[in-house]
A = this chain, B = another copy of it.
Amino acid sequence: MDIGSVNYLPYEDFVDVFGNVVEKCPLITAAVWSRRPFSSLADLEASINDFIDALPESGKEGILRVHPDLTGRDLQSGSLTRESREEQVQAGLDTLTTAEVSRMARLNTEYKDHFGFPFVICARMNNKATILRQLEERLRNERTIERACAIDEVKKICHLRLQGLVVPETSNKL
């Protein structure tokens, strides 16, 4: 689909297609439909990012809290969204050793107890080694910095999901 076709979508189809570019937050997609027409995929992405940035801090934490734990109960039980499952599998998170699963679970719990939201990272830009390392490192962040860091990861995930749905513009097109 190209951006011209996107601009013609009624809101119901727009939400069907883009409703999970921010995990479990179709409200955000449905809100940015108001900003049509989009001049480009980057413009659509910027509209989503602007909406996220304008939310109060509790709203940003809300976005994080509807994300699944990496290698958590949703991966084990098969209840992840399609997008999350593919991303976790691509990062090798379904092939952790028992020791790695235990370490990830322990760190996830420590992180959630500390921050009150789950560790979010763009799995497709990482692998299990870098994910575990970053989880340990980010646990030491100050809360405000870590919330901003996690929201940046949400935006990276959104970027890649959008890339998979809309044909990017050629370089000579506005």
Contact = CB atoms under 8 A, between A and B. Distances in A.
A35 B116 CA distance: 12
Q: State how many copies of this chain the complex holds.
A: 2
A85 to B, nearest CB: 18
Nearest to A24: B26
A117 B11 contact: yes
Interface of A is mostly: helix
17 contacts: A10-B112, A11-B116, A12-B65, A19-B66, A24-B27, A27-B59, A27-B62, A27-B66, A30-B66, A31-B55, A31-B58, A31-B65, A32-B62, A33-B65, A33-B116, A34-B61, A34-B116
A165 to B, nearest CB: 18
Interface string A19-49: 1000011111111111100000000000000
Contacts of A26: 24, 62, 66
